[in-house]
Amino acid sequence: MRTIKTKLNFQKVLDKVLEIAELPESKRQEFVTTFYEYLYMRMVSEIREVDEEGADKVMEANTQGADAKKLKKVFEEISQNPKVKATVDEVTDEVIAKLVDDVAKFATEEQKQQILSAIQL
């Protein structure tokens, strides 16, 4: 499995991949929204397998309309559990890898190289 450079901000990775792929601005917001919904569902589902209470905290924060900063804080809190931390890292890497693979199907060789450089696989 590939390892994504973890110091990159997730949003920056997403933005960079979409920029390199030249996805039109008019389609980016819809794509980003769908992408985050998918990531959220995967996270909650996978976290639930190792820490049901942690998954409930994430869902509760989301239900209460938490912004990205609040959700990040909840994820940091539940990631104190090493099993949850490993799960969050694994899901994040898998989802980014899937994004890169999907975009690469339609990318030129130059774009593929730029994407790989941007995320340092």
Domain-by-domain residue ranges, the chain?
A: 10-119
Instruction: Give just the sign of the alpha carbon dihedral 64, 66, 70, 73.
Output: positive
Label residue 114 by pLDDT band (50, 70, 90). confident
Label residue 78 by pLDDT band (50, 70, 90). very high
Question: 115 or 64: which carries more pLDDT confidence?
Answer: 64
Instruction: Reply yes or no on whether the pLDDT at 4 is more than 70.
Output: no
pLDDT one-digit tens code per residue, 40-74: 999 999 999 999 999 999 999 989 988 878 888 99
Q: Which amino acid is at 57?
A: K
How many CB atoms are located within 10 Å of the residue 17 CB?
22
